[in-house]
Chain A
Amino acid sequence: MLPTGIHPTCYAHEARVLITPRSRVWLAILIAGLLAFPLAAGPYMLGVFTHMFITLMAVYGLYVTVGMAGQINVAQSAFVGVGAFATAKLSEYGLPFYLVIPAAAVITGTVSILFALPAARVKGFYLALTTLAAQVVFPIVILALPMSWLGGLVGMSVSPISIGSLTLSAPIHFYYFTLAFVALLTVAVFNLKRSRFGRALLAVRDNDVVAEVMGIPVFKMKVLAFFVGSLFAGVAGACLAYFLQFVTVTSFTLFASVWYLGMLIVGGVHSPVGAILGVVFITLVQESLHDIANSLMQSGASGGVLFALTSVALGGCILIALIFEPRGLAHRWQVLRTAFQLWPFPRN
């Protein structure tokens, strides 16, 4: 809902992400805040944000596949892994990061097509199982290949990024590096929904029979949804590889895939804002619980019990979020925003 007095005069105006001047001011404040954040934050907090940005890139990809096209995907972690291994291998040849990251994204997208082809033919549980196969096959393939190719069981180390004489090793470097990429992907994902391709994905999600009748190539769109979602995963994997400077199959588990999906569901499946809110919410809860558990642990509580309790508490937070707001935090955000826009008039 728009505030009183805003009357779009053309489609382009109506389709804008930021319609009101006030929303543009808020965005400017957010950008300024993110840019200035390292001035106030310590290295650990910069690390937390860097990791959060990388996670957000992966969840954006999931939003495209699951949220926009309605294709369940429980293999996003495997696709992030493909991007990470591609980065490790390409950087071995001394390629600069600005070639490695796009190449890793394309490689990941291409690999995803292998699984998208069968996945696009099935729906529901069968689709979930097909993508699960991708998650299961990923470590098996890496381990089966000769060790000299992708490191096998040992994994591969990744050289840090060098830009001229500057080597990106400090937390502040990685913060700005990943912030730049997440900003780029944010623009892409917000615009995707307004594009012809994005609308086709939404049509396929809402009713693929009707979409077919309307002339949308449903099969192609489903495959492309996986491809585009995996491009995001590839960029996330590349950034993760540069951040950790080491990649191993054990980092890209089904558990991580489920977490990515959980973040999207908690945030709201049908909006890119949901991806942002889900990632921020889960990260915040995880970090807070970790801090509390740590404090209790230092004061003598049993570690095993605390570890179990933090997992239970995290699950509880997700359950509460879903029970009270099944449409995700993005809907709550939308309600809040509308109330703010209409203030001081009452909202029905």
Chain B
Amino acid sequence: MKVARSIFAAALLAATSMPALSADYVISASADYSGPFADVMPNAMSGINAMADWWNKEVGAKIGVNVEIKIYDMRYDPAQIAKTWPAILSSDRPIMHLGFGSPDFVTLMKRLPTDKVPMLIGTAMVGLVWGPDGWHYSIRPTYSHEFAGLLSHLQEKKGSKLIVGPISTQNQAGFVDQVNGVRKLAETYPDRFEVLETQWVEASPVSVTANIRALAAGNPDVLLVGGTTAQVIAAASAMGELGLNIPIISSTHNGLSEVAKGVDLNKLNGSYSAFSFAPPQRKNLPIKDVYEQHKKEGQWGLIAAQSAAQALLGLRVLEKAVAKVGADNVTGEAMRNALLENVFTEEELLGALPTLDYDETAPFPVGDLKATAEVVRDGKIEPLTDEWLSVPALEKW
């Protein structure tokens, strides 16, 4: 009897002295450690990991939730994703997947509603998948929306109609879609924008001098090159040959920091990268401080900023889901509902993203959309402004 009492007392003591149990959840993430984006992966994944570490310590501990980030090398290859995704589902049961680019989209888009796992990607959307009731979302609107934000800013500065000269690649659906979206912008606001005839070039062109000459005949205020880094470099070289100096607008994947690896930035003074998360060089950026304190590897820059913003939104969604269904009952469906039912403020997102609102009509934020941009000044990349740029309303194209 004495022994039994002692065991009971010991067990009670052990139980009361144990820390409170937390609910563990997995958020899976696609990486490309052995594909075309392998070089930027350490920075990309460091953004996700740093945010998860910070959130577990500062937020998760308080609400009784612990998140484990599980990164899978998908090689930027749909076949690899198709092979890996079922393994992720059965072994990790993720409540959300952080995707990386179009291979994740095309492979998982149809499966996610059945698998009941929402996907959040960090790259911008394309109008081609602008449809209702999806389970795939981006932290950013379409590339065209982002370009529209910058173009609108430039047009307001100019005061008269802004003429845009697009260069793109015809056999890449996403790149063609960018141009289609900007054409829709010009159709919607004909007194503000004019888009010249698109110059279709190779993804890795040897020279685009003839194309730039053709565009220059229309006196464009800016060249829109949303496709590849090689196209931006070729456009810069062509302008050098022709003695022209027309600002180029690129995106993030082919943006200024990527272009700087292949061309002297002094040749690109006045050129822009348009996107819709906070420029990494922005002053007083709370997410940067969090990243620097919690990163284990990597460097703060465009790709780290993008992936940190992506992970942070996912974690904020989890907070809202916990608030609604409780710490122990979070599922993929609860995560999707939390994403759709709540507004995520810029403050909650540590300044990384503008205030975001999602609904079932589109796979990207809706409502009052914002964009931002970087510009080259004196051979250095700087944020264009400290404020977000307003994106003019655009109907689906």
Contact = CB atoms under 8 A, between A and B. Distances in A.
A205 interface: no
Contacts of A158: 110
Interface centre among A47, A158, A297, A303 (most CB of B within 10 A): A303
Contacts of A245: 82, 107, 110-111
A48 B84 CA distance: 9
Interface residues of B, number: 35
Nearest to B43: A303
A39 to B, nearest CB: 14
Contacts of B133: none
A293 B33 CA distance: 8
Interface of A is mostly: helix
A7 B107 CA distance: 54
Interface in A283-304: 290, 293-294, 297-298, 300, 302-304
Contact of A42 (B87, B107, B171, B177): B87
Interface in B100-128: 106-107, 109-111, 114, 128
A44 interface: yes
B210 interface: no
Contacts of B170: 143
State the main secondary structure of chain B at its contact with A: helix
Give chain A's interface residue range (CB within 8 Å of chain B). Answer: 35 or more
A57 to B, nearest CB: 14
Interface in A256-314: 290, 293-294, 297-298, 300, 302-304, 306-307, 310
Nearest to A310: B34
A155 interface: yes
A246 B107 contact: yes
A248 B105 CA distance: 12
Interface of A: 42-44, 46-48, 50-51, 139, 143, 152-155, 157-158, 169-171, 240, 243-246, 248-249, 251, 290, 293-294, 297-298, 300, 302-304, 306-307, 310
Interface of B: 33-36, 38-42, 73, 75, 78-79, 82-84, 86-87, 89-91, 106-107, 109-111, 114, 128, 170-173, 176-177, 297
26 contacts: A42-B87, A43-B89, A43-B90, A43-B91, A47-B83, A50-B83, A51-B79, A51-B82, A153-B177, A157-B109, A157-B110, A158-B110, A169-B114, A171-B90, A244-B79, A246-B109, A248-B173, A251-B79, A290-B75, A294-B33, A297-B41, A303-B42, A306-B33, A307-B34, A307-B39, A310-B34
